[in-house]
């Protein structure tokens, strides 16, 4: 599973108590890969963020486009602002 470092930061920002401990465990799994937000991606992430509303979602959309893999998100309507229908998997 590929996830943005910005999503990780946002998850820790919202986490309290045992949730932060669970995040620590989840992020240590060998199947989880954390993608950094590179300097050269900054301008594009910023432009996408203007359309989707959050830097973390913008970076995730960029990763989905670059890797041609679906983005699983609870904010599918925002992701559809920049991604094709097939690249967005809505989560409840």
Q: Write down the pLDDT at residue 56.
A: 97
- The region that residue 71 occupies, defined by phi over 0 for left and psi between -120 and 50 for alpha, beta otherwise, is beta
Please tell me the total count of domains within the chain: 1
What is the residue range of 84's domain? Answer: 2-90
Q: Write down the pLDDT at residue 53.
A: 97
- In 3D space, the residue among 5, 42, 83 whose CA is nearest the CA of residue 75 turns out to be 83
Task: Tell me what the pLDDT averaged over the chain comes to.
Answer: 96
Q: Write down the pLDDT at residue 45.
A: 98
Q: Write down the pLDDT at residue 14.
A: 95
| Residues of the chain with confidence (pLDDT) below 50 | none
Q: Write down the pLDDT at residue 82.
A: 98
């Amino acid at each position: 599973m590929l996830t943005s470092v910005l999503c990780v930061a946002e998850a820790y920002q919202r986490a309290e108590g045992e949730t932060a401990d669970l995040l620590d465990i989840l992020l240590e799994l060998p199947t989880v890969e954390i993608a950094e937000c590179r300097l050269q991606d900054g301008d594009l992430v910023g432009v996408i963020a203007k359309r989707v509303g959050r830097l973390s979602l913008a970076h995730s959309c960029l990763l989905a486009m670059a890797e041609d893999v679906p983005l699983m998100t609870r904010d599918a309507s925002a992701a559809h602002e920049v991604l094709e229908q097939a690249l967005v998997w809505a989560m409840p």
